[in-house]
Structure 1
Amino acid sequence: MNETFDNVALIIPAYNEGAAIAGTIDGIPAEFRNIIIIDDGSRDDTRERVAATRAKLVKHPINLGQGAALQTGIDFALLDPRIEYFVTYDADGQHRIEDVRSMLTHIKQTGVDIVLGSRFLGEAINMPTMKRVILKAAVWFSNITSGVKLTDTHNGLRVFSRATAQALKLELPDFSHASEIIERIGEKGMRYAEVPVTIIYTDYSRSKGQSMINAVNIGFDALLRKVIK
């Protein structure tokens, strides 16, 4: 008999993901019943594709950014008192549900507040060399500025408890939310762990990811926030 995950919500932000979103949802086994897609003002057929699946659809009328979409999804999931574990999951097919299972097992067994996926402890299939270099530099920078020691700082695959979901309160609307989450971990003294995961880079996912220049800008933004606090 398959294990059920009625107390788990998968939160998936989506912006112009019509080409991939149905396949991503279909790849999630039926025992994960709480799939929340946040359509972040898409201009393609993302909404129509999601509407034809079993996932719940929450819509932003305009594009607000991935951080804002994640916070909307977290707020929506918090409305259901049965949800104890929150999973952030990418829409473009890079993540594997097997890794979600292992991360859920880890958070339940250890009682940490948040589990972060690490492709550098696991595997990054077809990752471009320059992206690897930039991400490694981002890890070094984040570890110095945040005080939270990680091997992978911009991985969208995370699992956290209900209390953590209530405490995150993301304010940065764009990809900077990844750094903001790490800052929250440090500020609030959250217990955290990393688990090896596999990230699969396809031509499609590479075309949808943040640019290298944007990744550098996020680093500068994080440093600036530290300076002005």
Structure 2
Amino acid sequence: MPDCPATQPPESAPASPAVAVLIPVHNGGPFLEGVLDGLAALPLTVWVVDDGSTDDTASRVRFRPVRLLRLPIRSGKGTAIRHGLARILGDFSPEWVLFMDADGQHRPEEVPRFLSAMEGEVDFLIGSRMGETENFPLHRLRTNRVGSTILRLMSGHAVPDTQCGFRALRAHYLRGMRLESKGFEVETEMLLKALRAGARWRPVPVSAVYDGQGSHFRPVADTYRICMAALRYVAE
């Protein structure tokens, strides 16, 4: 489907070509509105990839100062991210791409932490919720610890929160990265490939927000896919 026409950001928050925000979403209209409201005053170019939503997500976005890319059928978070990156990196030249979820778990007011950290000698900023583990659902905490252990054994990097989708990576690394994952395992794949390419990383503390709504993560199926993504890295 074609994109809806892009509108100009408000004068109080001019778009910056330096940082593009990529938000994949499926049936997340109400949550997405809150995220977009929080980003409105920041100097960012915001892209929303609608992954085959059947609710009113597209209509909630259409007249906002963001760019909307619609996929005709639901294809998974990884596929949505690949489509979004192809458009962002093909049409623009951002220095960074910042990734956020639209389910209310990533707080827009914490984005400035990433923007400030980008000024340092770093290539990959990875959100870390490990300062608030008391707010983690047990199954998510276990999945995260498994992923962190696997990554440490495979790469030697002790990344505290491997599954956090709130992250930012220099576009240079994304341009040379071939992502293949279709679902949530894309976060593990991106992390492993960036580290292998020599990206300098650091954690950025973010909140752990879980209210039982919004997330499409499936504990058993998606944990399995995450482990398989890590094993594919070994085989490459």
Q: TM-score w.r.t. structure 2 length?
A: 0.85
Which of 51, 65, 68 does residue 57 from structure 1 map onto? 68
Contact 2:154/2:234, CA 8 A, preserved across alignment = no
Contact 1:40/1:69, CA 8 A, preserved across alignment = yes
Partner of 1:217: 224
Partner of 2:192: 183
Report the more deviating stretch, 53-62 or 25-34: 25-34
Contact 1:124/1:198, CA 8 A, preserved across alignment = no
For residue 97 of structure 1, report the CA deviation from its aligned partner. 2.5
Unpaired runs of 5+ residues, structure 1, are none
C-alpha separation in 2, matches of 1:100 and 1:33: 10
Partner of 1:90: 101
Which of 205, 208, 213 does residue 199 from structure 1 map onto? 208
Partner of 2:20: 9
Matched residue count: 225
- The sequence identity of aligned pairs, in percent, is 30
Matched, 1:22 2:33: yes
* 2:223 alignment partner AA: V
For residue 147 of structure 1, report the CA deviation from its aligned partner. 3.4
C-alpha separation in 2, matches of 1:42 and 1:202: 21
Q: Which has the larger strand fraction? A: 1
Partner of 1:115: 125
For residue 223 of structure 1, report the CA deviation from its aligned partner. 4.6
C-alpha separation in 2, matches of 1:76 and 1:31: 21
Contact 1:8/1:83, CA 8 A, preserved across alignment = yes
After TM superposition, the structure 1 = structure 2 runs for residues 130-169 of structure 1, keeping only pairs within 5 Å, are 130-169=139-178
* Cα 1:37–1:124 shift into 2, 3 Å: farther
* Cα 1:182–1:33 shift into 2, 3 Å: closer
For residue 80 of structure 1, report the CA deviation from its aligned partner. 4.4
* Cα 1:123–1:29 shift into 2, 3 Å: farther
For residue 225 of structure 1, report the CA deviation from its aligned partner. 1.2
Matched, 1:32 2:43: yes
* 1:192 alignment partner AA: W
For residue 59 of structure 1, report the CA deviation from its aligned partner. 1.0
Residue 129 of structure 2: SS of its match in structure 1?
Answer: strand
Matched, 1:101 2:112: yes
* 1:34 alignment partner AA: T
C-alpha separation in 2, matches of 1:65 and 1:172: 9
C-alpha separation in 1, matches of 2:103 and 2:118: 25
Unpaired runs of 5+ residues, structure 2, are 1-11
* Cα 1:98–1:3 shift into 2, 3 Å: farther
Residue 27 of structure 1: SS of its match in structure 2?
Answer: helix
Residue 35 of structure 1: SS of its match in structure 2?
Answer: strand
For residue 145 of structure 1, report the CA deviation from its aligned partner. 2.7
Deviations 1:31-65 (A, max 9, x none): 33411000111122211111132221001112121
* 1:167 alignment partner AA: G
Provide the aligned C-alpha RMSD in A: 2.3
Deviations 1:158-185 (A, max 9, x none): 1121212212331111111111012212
Contact 1:148/1:182, CA 8 A, preserved across alignment = no
For residue 136 of structure 1, report the CA deviation from its aligned partner. 1.6
